[in-house]
Amino acid sequence: MNGKNKSYWKYIFGIAMIILGGLLTYFNIGKEFLGFLTTGYFLFYVGVITIFIATLQIVKEDKKIVDERMEFVAAKASRIAFMAILLFAFVIVIIDSMESINIRGTYLMTYLICGTVLVYFVSYKLLLKVN
Amino acid sequence: MKNNIAELRDKCNMTQQALADKVYVTRQTILSLEYGRYNPSLELAYRITKALKQKHIENVFQLKTIAL
């Protein structure tokens, strides 16, 4: 995916968030969320920021090389992150069997995703040094 | 695989960055190749061979013999 294609997707995502935010606000759906009055306002903010960042990146024209070695390392790191998801799920099941985990499903998902992203990031950096 | 990229690069008076720019990879990739930590794809191997002004890919990259 070249730089221009990535920018189109960012703009599409940004516009989609703005439209969704507008719709949610218009139909009064959603409640107070992360300091924003409603979920709609938050999505609108996300859309604006995405478009702003995409525009900045185009203006800056930072040429980043992503070569085959980096793609190879990224693939390895993805496999490690996938294994981490399986391991986290197993650990959660074991812990839950010992002592019931009382946490909202959405928070559990968030922690799982953040943990996976962290594992991916760390394994990518380490593998880049080793390879 | 083993290679003699470093020697051939020295012969051509080329820095790692210059070679990296010629074959459209990062300097770290050239470093990894020279240290034998990474094996290039066929396409990259051919691009490096051409950049180092060699006629044959075997002049640059050789298969390590494994004792069976």
ipTM of this complex: 0.81
For helices A105-130 and A68-98, give the axis angle rounded to 10 degrees.
140
B26 min Cα distance to partner chain A (Å) = 7
pLDDT tens for B12-32 read: 999 999 999 999 999 999 999
Average pLDDT over residues A17-36: 88
Chain B partners within 8 Å of A65 (Cβ): 24-26
How far apart are alpha carbons B33 and B48 in whole angstroms? 11
Kindly indicate the confidence band of residue B45, based on its pLDDT and cuts at 50, 70 and 90.
Answer: very high
The single residue listed with the structure tokens 């390879």 is A131
The end-to-end CA distance of chain A, in Å, is 23
The single residue listed with the structure tokens 């459209």 is B24
A74: left (phi over 0), alpha (psi -120 to 50) or beta: alpha
B38 min Cα distance to partner chain A (Å) = 6
- Does A69 contact B at CB distance below 8 Å? yes
The single residue listed with the structure tokens 């938050």 is A42
Kindly indicate the confidence band of residue A23, based on its pLDDT and cuts at 50, 70 and 90.
Answer: very high
Chain B partners within 8 Å of A72 (Cβ): 38
Q: What angle do CA B12, B14, B17 make, to 5 degrees?
A: 155
Average pLDDT over residues A79-85: 94
Indicate whether A3 pLDDT > 70: no
Q: What angle do CA A131, A61, A76 make, to 5 degrees?
A: 20
Position A13 scores a pLDDT of: 93
How far apart are alpha carbons B51 and A63 in whole angstroms? 22
A51 min Cα distance to partner chain B (Å) = 29
Task: State the Rg of chain B over Cα.
Answer: 11
